[in-house]
Amino acid sequence: MDVRKRPFLSGWVPALSRWSVMAGLGLPSALAAGEAETPDPTPRQMLDRVDNLYRGSSSHGIMAMKVVRENWSRELKLEFWTQGKENTLVRILEPAKEKGTATLRTEGNIWNYLPKVNQVIKIPASMMGSSWMGSHFTHDDLVKQNRLAEDYEFVQTFSGERDGAPVVEITCTPKADAAVVWGRVVVNVSRDDWLPRSIAYFDEDLHPVRTLAFDDFRPLDDLSIPRVARMVPVDPPQERTEIRYEDLSFNVVLPDDWFSIRELQR
Amino acid sequence: MLTVRLAWRNLWRNRKRTLITVAALSLNTAVCIVTYGLMVGVLAKMQRNATRLTSGEVQVHAPGYRQDRSLYKTLAQPEALLATARAEGFAAVPRTYGYGLISRGGKSAGALFWGVDPAAEQDAFALAGDMAAGAYLGREPAGEIVLGRKLARALQVAVGDEVIAVVQAADGSLGNELFRVAGLFSSAGESFDRQTAMIHRADFSRLFVTENRVHEIALHGRDRHAPQDMVAALREKHPGVEVLAWPEISPHFASFMEYMRRVAWLYAFIFALVAGLGITSTMLMATFDRTWEFGVLKALGTAPWRIVRDVAAESLLLAIFSTGIGMAGGCAVIWIFQERGIDMSRFIQGAVSFSGVAFDPVLRPVISWAVLLPPTVIMWVTALAASLYPAVKAARIHPVRAMTQV
């Protein structure tokens, strides 16, 4: 695997490019290290941050995904790469029975590679709402073609204390022409580090459907990022899918044809 | 008897008018009979399609299964249920269902997988013997799959091609297996054609990791047992499961059949109205012609009710005579088309279904007393009712005015 990791925020990177990367992530520059006073991020900047979480211009990492369902529960270990807003490649490392199963996302299409039958299948548009790998994340979530700041009208609806922590709440309603499955999305961002704490999803009738909660804020690759993302459906409430990032590097250099079906099958 | 002989003679006093009326009424009756026979025939075929092709006249499920079709709601004792059913002489098959994806090349489609026992299916249900292409599943599990026609077309697969099945297995893993297309089903209803992928139950169990569990027992009575009797027999011996007859399983289709029956009554009403108007018109003319006669009769002391009776008898006799001919004509037409059917497939593109049940474009009428009698009796009653106005009018004429008017 010829993937070279270029250390982020290392000494020789000029300060200018550091800021531009930060800005690309939607981070207010004040975060980097005690700089001059800058205004709080706007709701748009906060939403961009949420959309760009875990992505950067490219990334590579390992995560553990635990899925708890009514009739079964299982744990997977996955390796993943992302590039830009479009490309994602995820491969199962464990359990051994499913090792090698991979999912590729490019240009709004999703492909699965199944090592047992050595075949690649395309997920049809009709199944975009179905669960990915049995988890509570759907293929639609993986494609993530909708960006909060662009496809939704957003309004800051609350700023203050909740459960002892200072948060900002942004309520997003889909624009009339946006192809979005949700009726409303409510994002809670902490005022301490401007990182999201939770995202609540509502259907077209504005009934709550699921909540994505973020946890374990420790630096990964020198960036403060929630290491745990937990998707909990409203019904049935005892189910959940928990993703724990064990290793994550940003701005990795990836070969041009990395996100291709051929690569998927390796 | 005198009334009848007089009525008959009176009818033929104006042969042309009577013959024209007879022609109209008998045609009306014949058309009514043929239409009704067609409707009965087509509905009966659709009901057979609904129950004999695939779904069965009675189905048994675990309680709560039909609400969400959960993979996990299986029958506790399928073998015992099958044994009871077969002991009573019903045809019974076990089935397991699961949703998943079928893919070939770049094309994928969602499908409902059926895990079946091919030998039992061929014995009990007609679908296995009615393949559009290829053959049904073999008795032993061999990685074969049979698809609904529209599903095959969506995937652009033909008999002999290989497809992948990808499903969410019962233990959460991603089940995936290769299957070879053994055959394609003929049309059996819209959703069946679009979604069905049938595999051997052993293959299903491996793919879905269901350990040979069963969701459904489908039964029919081999033309010897009524569905309600079957339901009662099974409920008695197996109280813990849900046993339903087909009107409850397919309420859409049951209400569609009910709707068609009411439409038939509407047609009958319209036919009767038309016939009735014709009869009234004819009888009015007939009595007008004989105004002088009725005047003489009344002058001689005939009671009005006798005149009413005579006119009504004439009308009824006309009706009986016409319906006799109409019945013969209707029977002949139905008899000719009974086997061959009226082929409407030229007018219907592709396969059509009503309420999810396949509609056979070859329309076959049926003959039976149930088909012949209702239109006939309606015609008689209409004739009597339609003649009342002319009859009463005739009975009330003033004798002197009648005799001097002419």
Q: Is B212 exposed, middle or buried (0-12, 13-18, 19+ CB in 10 A)?
A: middle
Interface residues on B facing A, Cβ-Cβ cutoff 8 A: 72, 101, 103, 106-110, 164, 166, 168, 170-174, 176-178
Read off the pLDDT band of A58 (50, 70, 90).
Answer: confident
Give the DSSP per-residue string, A24-93.
HTT--GGGSSS-S--PPPPHHHHHHHHHHTTTSSEEEEEEEEEEE-SS-EEEEEEEEEEETTTEEEEEEE
C-alpha separations of A121 from B56, B98, B178 in Å: 35, 19, 12
User: Which ipTM score applies to this complex?
Assistant: 0.73
Range with lowest mean pLDDT among B163-177, B340-354, B383-397 = B340-354
pLDDT for the residue numbered B362? 75
Chain A residues with CB-CB distance to B103 below 8 A: 119, 121-122
pLDDT for the residue numbered A15? 33
Q: Which token pair is B233?
A: 């027999």
Q: Which token pair is A103?
A: 């999912």
DSSP letter assigned to residue B13: G
Give yes or no for A107 touching B (CB within 8 A).
Answer: no
| Contact state of A126 with B166 under an 8 Å Cβ cutoff | no
Angle between helices B369-395 and B304-340 (to 10 degrees): 160
| Contact state of B101 with A101 under an 8 Å Cβ cutoff | no
Chain A residues with CB-CB distance to B176 below 8 A: 114, 116-117, 119
Q: Nearest residue of B to residue A95 by CA position?
A: B173
Q: Nearest residue of B to residue A109 by CA position?
A: B106
| Contact state of B174 with A73 under an 8 Å Cβ cutoff | no
SS3 for B87-134 is HCCCEEEEEEEEEEEEEECCEEEEEEEEEECHHHHHHHCCHHHCEEEE
For the ranges A119-123, A156-160, B145-149, B298-302, the maximum mean pLDDT occurs at B145-149
Average confidence (pLDDT) over B60-87:
91
pLDDT for the residue numbered B396? 87
Average confidence (pLDDT) over A57-73:
92
Read off the pLDDT band of A19 (50, 70, 90).
Answer: very low
Task: Note whether B85 and B232 are within 8 A (CB).
Answer: no
CA distance B353 to B356: 5
pLDDT for the residue numbered B406? 61
pLDDT for the residue numbered A229? 93
Q: Where is pLDDT greater, at B287 or B361? A: B287
| Contact state of B108 with A123 under an 8 Å Cβ cutoff | yes
pLDDT tens per residue across span B313-324? 999 999 999 999
pLDDT tens per residue across span B185-241? 987 778 888 999 999 999 999 999 999 999 999 998 887 888 888 898 889 888 889
Read off the pLDDT band of A7 (50, 70, 90).
Answer: very low
pTM above 0.90, yes or no: no
pLDDT for the residue numbered A21? 40
pLDDT tens per residue across span B351-360? 666 666 667 7
Task: Note whether B382 and B278 are within 8 A (CB).
Answer: no
pLDDT for the residue numbered B209? 93
pLDDT for the residue numbered A47? 86
Average confidence (pLDDT) over B6-25:
89
Amino acid identity of residue A232, one-letter, is V
A191: left (phi over 0), alpha (psi -120 to 50) or beta: alpha
Can you tell me which residue has the tokens 């209400």?
A: B255
| Contact state of B108 with A124 under an 8 Å Cβ cutoff | yes
Angle B156-A128-A72 from CA coordinates, rounded to 5°:
110
Q: Under DSSP, is residue B341 helix (H, G, I), strand (E, B) or coil?
A: coil
Average pLDDT over all residues of chain B = 88
pLDDT tens per residue across span A178-222? 888 899 999 999 888 888 999 999 999 999 999 999 988 887 777
Average confidence (pLDDT) over A6-18:
36
Quote the percentage of chain A above a pLDDT of 90.
33
**Phi, psi for B154 (deg, rounded to 5):** -65, -35
Q: Is the dihedral of CA B362, B198, B67, B79 positive or negative?
A: positive
pLDDT tens per residue across span A25-46? 434 333 444 444 567 788 888 8
Which residues pair with residue A191 across a beta bridge?
none
pLDDT for the residue numbered B350? 64
Give the DSSP per-residue string, A119-135.
EEEEPPGGGTTSBSTTS
Q: Which token pair is B180?
A: 């070879």
